[in-house]
Structure 1
Amino acid sequence: MSRPGAGGSRAGLRPRMPSWAATLTWKSAVFITVMCCALAALLGVLVHSEVTRQTVGEAREKALSRLTDVTAAYETGEALPPGSGIDPPGLPAALRALAASGERGTLVGEHGGRPAMWAAAPADGRALATQVDYSQSARTIDSLDGAIVGSSLLAIGATLLVGAFAVTRVTRRLHQTARVARRISAGDLDARVRDPRTADPSRPQDEVAIVAGALDTMASTLQRKLQTEQRFTADVAHELRTPLTGLSAAAELLPPGRPSELVRDRVRTMRALTEDLLEISRLDARSEAADLDVYELVPLVERVVRASGTATAIRVGHPESTAHLRVETDRRRLERVLGNLITNAHKHGRPPVVLTVDGPVVTVRDHGPGFPDYLPADGPQRFRTEGGGRGHGLGLTIAAGQAAMIGAGLVFRNAPDGGAVAQVTLPEYPAPDDGAPEPRS
């Protein structure tokens, strides 16, 4: 009976490959090395077998030819040449048994501590044998084996160098394409790969050039569409300002009463929406620069809460170090970010709404239903709402854009015990030294 989770435990014990082992360069190097080694081994075996066959064949023919002369001398009763005789010492036992059975044969063995090719034939129930020196043939085969190993290592090294150079050129282009893709995803729509192979349509293109060209085309198309949308948003907002100004003036002339209040309220809402659209269009166009200065964070936050006119509690973590903490930021933009977060918390959440300052981190939390599921993962999206009457989604979009302008990090998440949490992390200014600028209030 297996225990629950046992399989998971065994899986957790598996060795994990290092990250560099997953790269295309490493995989290509391993593939090239394995293929080179396999090819070198195959060629080495073939060459070794063929040369050994030829060398052994020549030595065997020489030994058999000498055995013929020795046999003739034995039959005529002449003296046998040196290295020959009946059952001479050093004759391999297998070859002696073969000759005793009535057959001729050859076998590589030793004679006097040196390699020798033995040849034997039957003679009166015994073995008539002779041998020829095999030392030179053995040295030839050994030298050939050494040459095969050396040339194989040299060929593998050269192939690896050439292969690594070729693969590195490809992976470098792939990395460049990936870097451009990341820049585009981060908002840099002017980024392009500009692979030289895509500049000339008549030039043959490889797969990397095709991918790079497709990415550049996609980025250009996306940039044109976004610029068209930005211009449309800005034009609409500009066109709406003039009639809304006249409508607002006309609404103020209406006689007092409930209908007049409703008209004025709707006009104020439309004017606020128009101003938000203009602000978003400026953020999208990146036509503005942050006016950075040094401010004490806690007084700035307190002023934002007072200006919001809401019942927002302020908490300061580690008062001894946070009370006089200074940050380098654009005060107007930071006030816009915090003001939008506070307004959103009161509008879509439930009290209590708490603003916490802990070092350079400012957190706004409510105790309502929390952010929609898409928002913590994908960020705020303009004109995306979760149900009717819940706003137009521009407040958090503006907060995210202004935070990016001042170099602050803005993170949205839901608290485990309920409620939406928006966390702003500001660039902290160094502790004051002699001659350092005084913070502005």
Structure 2
Amino acid sequence: MRRPRLPAWTATLTWKAAVFITVMCCALAALLGVLVHVSVAGQTVKDSRDKALGRLDEVSRLYESGEPLPRFAGVDPEGLPGSLRALAARGDRGTMVTEYQGRPTMWAAGPADGKALAVRVDYTSSAATIDGLDRSILGSSVLAIGATLLVGAFAVTRITRRLHLTAQVARRISAGDLDARVNDPRTEDPSRPQDEVATVSGALDTMASSLQRKLQTEQRFTADVAHELRTPLTGLSAAAELLPEGRPSELVRDRVQAMRGLTEDLLEISRLDAGTETVDLAVHDLGPLAERVVRASGTATEVRITRDATVETDKRRLERVLGNLVANAHRHGLPPVVLSVDGPVVTVRDHGEGYPEYLLAAGPQRFRTESGGKGHGLGLTIAVGQAEVIGAELVFANAPDGGAVARLALPEYVRFADPDGEADDGAVDGARGETDGGARGETDGRAAGSAGS
């Protein structure tokens, strides 16, 4: 039988602490209440028993002297418990609390000529004292538990709030915000004692600072290397053009071109990592733009436009993203490769083996490929970075019937109607003219030559 799943809030530290405090308070209150009840009740019963036995002694003297007995005494009186009557008949003395005429009564009995001489003492006030004590214990226990819960919840909430802040900062760091810090005041002041939460917060801040320095060093190194390679590569490219025609010169030019593409990709990734990119937003029709990207790539890619849409984006960066996705599909997948436009969503699909598991789990990783083909793993990395710059969402998945699927969701442009009820298409028309005039010239050959993952 499957166990029912508890709500998520039952796993929180606050709830567990509240349950623990409540259980411990209840156990402590019950223990103290029982001890107080037993002590006070025992003392009250003892006092009443001593009083009843004292009266029994007085009544015994009166009985022996033949004097009349008081109203609260008698020989085998009505209401005397049978067990106490039998005890007195055996020659022993004893006491017992029972109900007599609807009131709590303490009986004391002793032997008298084979019968039971008994006295009764009103036990109402003593019983009321014990009942009042029990109510006071219960009420004070409830108040103590409530006050302890409030204080405990306040203390635990302060700790959990700091833990939540630490977890939030850790998520921000994992998302790429390397400037995020907890900055717990206990870690900044060495004179203040540090608890475990402050220790964890300080360790997280130290780790983030170290990670940030290492990444910045790597970024600067990559950018410097790529920048320094541009000059010798330019000279090498010019020298390759002077070689006589033939297979060796073609191989040299091809390798030089590949080196130039890799260098430009490294520079582009460095700029994306540095977060210094700015976007040039304009309004464009997505269908025609996607068709131009496919034509510029020179690949046999099928374009399907289910529903065209107008988007506000940076045309050059969007062409870069789509070009890399198309090139990656042809390089690492199998035909047919289909680019679909459905509203503001563009999907690029091939019919190969699909994306590797590491890519689906953690995204593209530079300089890592598993398909055995050419590529250095920078194409999809650049696509993801450029998509983030233009505010688009790029998701990678594998189709159920095989093949890799890249889905790019863009922010759709909303047209506002003028007072006459007609849509304001002026900006769209102007953007369309600008796009038609320079799209092909701005789409460089790297759109199809620098993808890979």
The normalised TM-score by structure 1 is 0.94
Secondary structure of 2:427's counterpart equals coil
Hey, what's the Cα distance between the residues in 1 that align with 2:329 and 2:147?
66
**Equivalent residue in structure 2 for 1:20, among 1, 4, 9:** 9
Residue aligning to 2:316: 332
RMSD over equivalenced CA pairs, Å: 1.3
Residue aligning to 1:401: 385
**1:49 correspondence with 2:49:** no
Residue aligning to 1:181: 170
Hey, what's the Cα distance between the residues in 1 that align with 2:50 and 2:164?
64
Residue aligning to 1:73: 62
Instruction: Map 1:54-65 to 2 at 5 A.
Output: 54-65=43-54
Hey, what's the Cα distance between the residues in 1 that align with 2:299 and 2:99?
107
Residue aligning to 1:269: 258
Residue aligning to 1:37: 26
Tell me how far 1:438 sits from its aligned partner.
2.6
Hey, what's the Cα distance between the residues in 2 that align with 1:99 and 1:426?
100
Residue aligning to 1:97: 86
**1:250 correspondence with 2:263:** no
The answer to whether the 8 A contact 2:340-2:347 is kept is yes
Residue aligning to 1:110: 99
Tell me how far 1:113 sits from its aligned partner.
2.4
Secondary structure of 1:288's counterpart equals coil
The answer to whether the 8 A contact 2:283-2:413 is kept is yes
Amino acid of the residue matched to residue 260 of structure 1?
S
Tell me how far 1:202 sits from its aligned partner.
2.9
Amino acid of the residue matched to residue 337 of structure 1?
V
Q: 1:225 to 1:86 in 2, by over 3 A?
A: same
Secondary structure of 2:91's counterpart equals coil
Q: Equivalent pairs: percent with the same residue?
A: 74
> Following TM superposition, where does structure 1 have runs of at least 4 consecutive aligned residues deviating by more than 3 angstroms?
none
Q: RCO higher in 1 or 2 (8 Å CA, sep ≥ 6)?
A: 2
Residue aligning to 1:145: 134
Amino acid of the residue matched to residue 155 of structure 2?
A
Moved more, 169-178 or 426-435: 426-435
Amino acid of the residue matched to residue 339 of structure 1?
G
Hey, what's the Cα distance between the residues in 1 that align with 2:178 and 2:337?
38
Hey, what's the Cα distance between the residues in 2 that align with 1:432 and 1:67?
105
Residue aligning to 1:6: none
Residue aligning to 2:348: 364
**1:415 correspondence with 2:390:** no
**1:379 correspondence with 2:363:** yes
Instruction: Map 1:105-254 to 2 at 5 A.
Output: 105-254=94-243
Tell me how far 1:35 sits from its aligned partner.
1.0
Secondary structure of 1:438's counterpart equals helix
Hey, what's the Cα distance between the residues in 2 that align with 1:403 and 1:351?
25
Moved more, 271-280 or 347-356: 347-356
Residue aligning to 2:376: 392
Hey, what's the Cα distance between the residues in 1 that align with 2:375 and 2:295?
23
Amino acid of the residue matched to residue 213 of structure 2?
R
Tell me how far 1:431 sits from its aligned partner.
4.1
Tell me how far 1:126 sits from its aligned partner.
1.5
**Equivalent residue in structure 2 for 1:346, among 321, 327, 330:** 330
Aligned length in residues: 425
